[in-house]
Amino acid sequence: MSGDAGSADPRRRRVLTLVGLGTGGLAALAVGVPVGAAVLQPAWLRRGAAWRDVGVPGDFTPGVARLVIFDRPGTTPHAQLTTGDLRRDTAWVTREDGGWLALQNNCLHLGCPVRYQPGSRLYLCPCHGGVYDARGVNLAGPPRAPLVRLGVREQAGRVQVRAQALPLPDLLGRPR
């Protein structure tokens, strides 16, 4: 009897040690992931940011968003999971009131590409029903932030978009 109790103790201690290590590891991850993302994000966003040609002004009908494709300056695990193409990025570019608007084509919930509806001028996310207005402001559904605006300009007769890496979402899927 006493031999059984003696052999059970080391086993119990081992189990408790493993449980303790596992719990400590999870706690370290819970703290480390958001802190790491916050520290790395600014450098990540700057990585390879550059102006990319996306057409000439005549390609864009005033008031109607047009999808443009350009080289991706950097990528994140988030982007890899949702776009499937690591080398290309897309944005919706609108010419309006003598200016330009460029919106990154990734829903700010979980990153799905959004679809533009010319009639209503809304952007709809097919994944979970997110809705954004013509300026990219989130109106309905899960997204808690507007579509990311990119720099856009006319330069030497070309329309150019300032490409950047996607912002990292926090643990609740909100952009930082």
Residues of this chain that interact with ligand FES (CB under 6 A) are: 107, 109-110, 112, 125, 127-130, 141-143
Nearest-approach distance from CB 143 to ligand FES, in angstroms: 6
Q: CA–CA distance from 36 to each of 10, 33, 94 (Å)?
A: 37, 5, 35
Distance CA 57, CA 90 (A): 17
Nearest-approach distance from CB 139 to ligand FES, in angstroms: 12
Q: Which amino acid is at 61?
A: T
Distance CA 132, CA 115 (A): 10
Element (H, E) at 66: strand 66-71
Q: Which is nearer to ligand FES, 136 or 159 (CB)?
A: 136
Q: Which is nearer to ligand FES, 12 or 176 (CB)?
A: 176
Nearest-approach distance from CB 138 to ligand FES, in angstroms: 9
Nearest-approach distance from CB 125 to ligand FES, in angstroms: 3
Q: Which is nearer to ligand FES, 48 or 175 (CB)?
A: 175
Q: Find residue 89's DSSP bridge partners.
A: 70
Quote the tokens at residue 70: 């350009």
* 8 A C-beta contact, residue 110 and residue 82: yes
Q: Which is nearer to ligand FES, 115 or 153 (CB)?
A: 115
